[in-house]
Chain A
Amino acid sequence: DAKTTQPNSMESNEEEPVHLPCNHSTISGTDYIHWYRQLPSQGPEYVIHGLTSNVNNRMASLAIAEDRKSSTLILHRATLRDAAVYYCILRDAWDQGAQKLVFGQGTRLTINP
């Protein structure tokens, strides 16, 4: 499975933007970049995904580098509820198997009031 590298932890302040980086230098042409987050005492939840173009949804934005070797999850205005572990995961669109998610360690985001 293609691997991703994320910082172990990050800290930000409430109501400020947060940029969560992810490196995936061995990404293949058919790998989609997915982000999930896990709030305390809950299962992971889907945040956003993209292939080449930047993507926006109600939760976040995903900025993908032109060479696709890195990406950044952007929370435009962090709230205390955004404190969670954020996982950057590659999923191969050509994989005919389980399409399972392979989680790394993720980035633990702390939001200061």
Chain B
Amino acid sequence: DTGVSQNPRHKITKRGQNVTFRCDPISEHNRLYWYRQTLGQGPEFLTYFQNEAQLEKSRLLSDRFSAERPKGSFSTLEIQRTEQGDSAMYLCASSLGAGLSPLHFGNGTRLTVT
């Protein structure tokens, strides 16, 4: 069972640097979601793709954040000019976009900005 894969698992960076995370969804899942989770809180929605089209972005996704999903397969989430407030777990999920199909989550990338 090849679930949702996220890389890297951990990333430590200095404030002001750019970082990029990768998510490989379950094959044939046409929907892909990015979430952010800080300690003690539930995951917060960031953005969503259906195939290669980015169809919804949260207000949490500032101009420093950009997500892509070329060819509707894997996705990347880039954060430019990182700030300490960006420290969080970044979770990716995918689903088969039919009705209320369950979301399948990866185990996340933990970002620490020093």
Contacts and interface: CB of A to CB of B under 8 A. Distances in A.
Contact of A105 (B4, B33, B41): B41
Contact of A46 (B42, B44, B102): B102
Interface stretch (B63-71, B74-82, B89-97): B89-97
B21 to A, nearest CB: 13
A43 B100 contact: no
Given A43-B93, A98-B33, A87 B55 contact: no
- Size category of the B interface is 20 to 34
Contacts, number: 61
Nearest to B50: A98
B100 A34 contact: yes
B105 A43 contact: yes
Contact of B44 (A85, A97, A103): A103
A100 B91 contact: no
A97 B103 contact: no
A32 B105 contact: no
Nearest to B56: A98
Contacts of B33: 98, 100
Interface of B: 4, 31, 33, 35, 41-45, 48, 55-56, 91, 93, 95, 97, 99-108
Interface of A: 32, 34, 36, 41-46, 49, 85, 87, 91, 93, 97-106
